[in-house]
Amino acid sequence: MTTSLWAIAGAIALLWPARLAGPFDGAPLDQASEAALIGGAVAVLAWVFPFIFKRPLVRSAIVALLAWKALTAATVTQDGWCLTFTSPVPLSRATGRVPHSWDVRADWRSEHPRCSAVMTSGFETLERFPVWFYNLPPANDTQPAEKSDRPPHVVLRLDLDGYLQNDTAGLFQILIGEDVEASVSIDGVVQSAPATGSGVTVPPGRHHVQVQARLTKSHWSLEPRWDGRNLWSATTATMAPTSGWDWWFRSWGRLVPPLLVGLLIAGCVLAVIERAGSWMAIGAASVFGALFALIPVIGSNALTRFAPGLLLGIAALPLPRRARNQFGVSLLVLVPFLALIIVMGLPQAGIFTWYSSGDDWWMFQRYGYRIFMEGYWLEGGSLTFWFQPLYRWISGALHMAFGDSSVGELYWDGLCMAAGAAFAFHIARAFAGFRAGIIAAALTLMLFTMGPAWYLFGRGLSELSSMGLLYAAALCALRGRHGHRPALLAAAVLGTLAFYTRLNNLPMLVALVGMAWPVAQPVGGWIRPRDLLARASRPVAAAILLGAAGAMWLFTARTYYYTGVLDMFHGTQASHLSVWKQASTAAEGIQLLSGSLMMVLTMSDPPRLDPRAVPVLFGVLAAVAGVLRLGRFRYLPLNASLLCLAGMVGSFVARGTAYPGRFTVHLIPVTVALSVCAVSLFLTDARLPRWLRRARQLPGTTSGLANQSPTPE
């Protein structure tokens, strides 16, 4: 619990907007360096190596950064100029003509904002302008956007207001695009030269600057300059007149956040190196990390998608014993993979995404805006959830951190993939050893990147988020078996969030009860309930079941609050997509059911044979064979088998449409883990774990296997 509190404090310290504009000045993370190091590297380290928050250097840097930002918030005037957009028509159902941008420094909590955003750098192209709100029109949610709702078919008014403080005379100019008409006034006197590019000489002193602009078509740019340099790096430009303290802080204060962020990252890296205790492991992680960071730069989409396959080579490395565990896979597999994702997202930093109109991606974005910018925190954009619930809150929170850019959604999806790979590793390693675990983790990532669902990453849908939260909950539940109470609480909370993110995963949430048993518990032992109950961890089962019950109760209560209907699935697509409701005869129902089932197993819609779906299909068949106690399959892990089969339950109830591969995402980690475990069963006995060799020597029974424990690596 202490580690979690320090992680939260670290997030606040890093994202709290600094008063002085500069490197690592907090949210929004709209520079490539900020997105990569704060939104990427630090988030990765915190996700895969939470022990870093135990380091004194890391904690000291967090406390110092919090103290610095609190001090400057009370004494220093905010850098930047107030940027206000005015639309000819309302852009959303609860937004007037002055929209909000995703800028926590502006009036994002005000219904009628004075500032849409805070400008601290120039905008070279239209996509650099904080006009994400053009993803909102029309105001009627039931209608798709028209061409006339977006540039270049609209006219937008821009007002810029701020103060300029200069010790010496300098040349002030504003570079504008061909489709921008601007007028500038300094201390109430209209100036023509600044907006024509030639500039105007401004005498020393404090000056009030106002810019009015008309933005037409799409060739936009607006870049304030001082003596030919970026205005905010060359002089002092603030939201309000500066105070006496400003000058003393500004002479050196911009260097403080980069220094403290550097100390924090250094502390994290030192903690990881110390934990590794092996220069071979550190060297291999560095080589793979550098290689994976270079792959997106090369620009080959095929190589990027195949990249996780290179991680299979880690299984052949002679790593020391202390690196052959969950830490080892995080260092050697997850970190290089996430380096790939971070570099992939850098071109998106500071640039907003044009979302296609009328689809799920578009709706989730609009809902996120309604929650955070318009204040509908519980309603979430709709009284009932025809669209899946929680992702709208997730996307909104990511925009609050990264601004208009959608790069945060790509990074979030990468972390969710890492959680799935970590689960696959844990199951395969406990069952068949470290190398099998590495293979399972790498294959899981390969199936994500090379599979048909690759297009989902960074696009803003709920499947990947629900998958990541679900497997993070499973890992916490497995840790909770050893009496770690915070892990039990985390398992219940993460499982609840996974269900809220995608309601179809309710059976998998309940199946997390299977994590009450160790990986050594064979699925074939289900015929002996007494033995199963004896080995189950009651705290884990209680945490999962109570969490699931609480999640369903709260969800139903919210629906009842808004509609007066006491039905958890009221207003959702549960009835609309029901397999059996669509069928008029039993034969048609069976046909629809088989189609729904095969769509999930083949990762294709309509179903068709796809070699990439082999691990999924084989994993499901292995789980079924294990439940039926067929041959060696009965030795497969009970907990993974239950989770796998629960993931198939949804296809027997509802049949989704569109977005091929999205309905299989939740099965990839567990089916890959089961496939690797199943293959290991058919290797020679000498290569099997000792506990499994002993168990297989028991003639015709699994009762003895239930009492065996896996030999530690």
pLDDT, tens only, 426-454? 999 999 889 999 999 999 999 999 988 88
Residue entry with tokens 């993931």: 647
pLDDT category at 703 given cuts 50, 70, 90 is: very low
121 and 213 inside one domain: yes
Q: What pLDDT, on a 0 to 100 scale, did the predictor assign at position 697?
A: 47
Contact 235, 184 (CB under 8 A): no
What mean pLDDT is reported for the chain?
87
With CA atoms as reference, report the closest residue to 480 among 466, 470, 492, 468.
492
| 356 within a domain of the structure (yes/no) | no
Q: What pLDDT, on a 0 to 100 scale, did the predictor assign at position 46?
A: 87
Q: What is the pLDDT of residues 517-535, one digit of tens each?
A: 999 999 998 888 888 888 8
106 and 48 inside one domain: no
| 674 within a domain of the structure (yes/no) | yes
Q: What is the pLDDT of residues 173-201, one digit of tens each?
A: 899 989 999 899 999 888 877 766 678 88
**CA atoms of 425 and 337, how far apart (whole Å):** 15
443 and 548 inside one domain: yes
Q: Which of 90-104, 144-158, 280-294 has the highest mean pLDDT?
A: 280-294
Has residue 710 got a pLDDT over 70?
no
Residue entry with tokens 């549960």: 574
In the three-class reduction of DSSP (H, G, I as helix; E, B as strand; rest coil), residue 211 is classed as strand
In the three-class reduction of DSSP (H, G, I as helix; E, B as strand; rest coil), residue 291 is classed as helix
The whole model's pTM is what?
A: 0.92
Rg of the chain, C-alpha, whole Å: 28
Q: What pLDDT, on a 0 to 100 scale, did the predictor assign at position 701?
A: 35
Q: Which of 74-78, 397-401, 706-710 has the highest mean pLDDT?
A: 397-401
pLDDT category at 280 given cuts 50, 70, 90 is: confident
- How far out from the chain centre does Cα 171 lie? 44
Average pLDDT on 10-29 reads: 92
53 and 149 inside one domain: no
pLDDT category at 712 given cuts 50, 70, 90 is: very low
Has residue 307 got a pLDDT over 80?
yes
388 and 315 inside one domain: no
Has residue 579 got a pLDDT over 70?
no
Amino acid identity, position 223: E
Q: What is the pLDDT of residues 354-390, one digit of tens each?
A: 888 878 888 899 999 999 999 899 999 889 998 889 9
pLDDT category at 688 given cuts 50, 70, 90 is: low
225 and 101 inside one domain: yes
Contact 680, 650 (CB under 8 A): no
| 360 within a domain of the structure (yes/no) | no
**Residues counted in the chain:** 713
Q: What pLDDT, on a 0 to 100 scale, did the predictor assign at position 713?
A: 33
| 218 within a domain of the structure (yes/no) | yes
Q: What is the pLDDT of residues 662-683, one digit of tens each?
A: 888 999 999 999 999 999 988 7
**CA atoms of 79 and 232, how far apart (whole Å):** 8
pLDDT category at 690 given cuts 50, 70, 90 is: low
Average pLDDT on 561-578 reads: 83
**CA atoms of 348 and 279, how far apart (whole Å):** 35
Residues in CB range of 494: below 8 A, 6 or more apart: 469, 470, 472, 473, 476
Range of the domain at 24: 2-76+259-266
* Crossing angle for the helix pair 485-501 and 538-563, to the nearest 10 degrees: 40
612 and 655 inside one domain: yes
Average pLDDT on 303-330 reads: 90
Q: How many CB atoms lie within 10 A of CB 425?
A: 31
Query: Domain with 149 in it: what CATH number?
Result: 2.60.120
Q: What pLDDT, on a 0 to 100 scale, did the predictor assign at position 110?
A: 87
| 247 within a domain of the structure (yes/no) | no
- Percent above pLDDT 90 for the chain: 55
**CA atoms of 611 and 177, how far apart (whole Å):** 51
319 and 232 inside one domain: no
448 and 547 inside one domain: yes
- How far out from the chain centre does Cα 207 lie? 43
Has residue 707 got a pLDDT over 70?
no
User: What letter does residue 190 receive in the DSSP assignment?
Assistant: E
491 and 627 inside one domain: yes
User: What letter does residue 712 receive in the DSSP assignment?
Assistant: P
| 618 within a domain of the structure (yes/no) | yes
Tell me the sheet residues that pair with 142. Answer: none
Q: What pLDDT, on a 0 to 100 scale, did the predictor assign at position 662?
A: 83
Average pLDDT on 155-173 reads: 92
Q: What pLDDT, on a 0 to 100 scale, did the predictor assign at position 658?
A: 67
Q: What pLDDT, on a 0 to 100 scale, did the predictor assign at position 684?
A: 58
Q: What is the pLDDT of residues 619-647, one digit of tens each?
A: 999 999 999 999 889 999 999 999 999 99
Cα of first residue to Cα of last residue in the chain, in angstroms, is 28
With CA atoms as reference, report the closest residue to 536 among 520, 515, 522, 551.
515
With CA atoms as reference, report the closest residue to 570 among 559, 558, 579, 557.
559
| 353 within a domain of the structure (yes/no) | no
232 and 172 inside one domain: yes
Domain boundary residue, one of 297, 327, 348: 348
Has residue 706 got a pLDDT over 60?
no
Q: How many domains does the chain have?
A: 4
Residues in CB range of 147: below 8 A, 6 or more apart: 153
Q: How many CB atoms lie within 10 A of CB 464?
A: 30
Q: What pLDDT, on a 0 to 100 scale, did the predictor assign at position 1?
A: 61
332 and 395 inside one domain: no
Has residue 203 got a pLDDT over 70?
yes
**CA atoms of 621 and 606, how far apart (whole Å):** 21
| 275 within a domain of the structure (yes/no) | no
DSSP per residue over 639-666, as a string?
HHHHHHHHHHHHHHHB---SSTTTTTGG
Q: What pLDDT, on a 0 to 100 scale, did the predictor assign at position 584?
A: 67
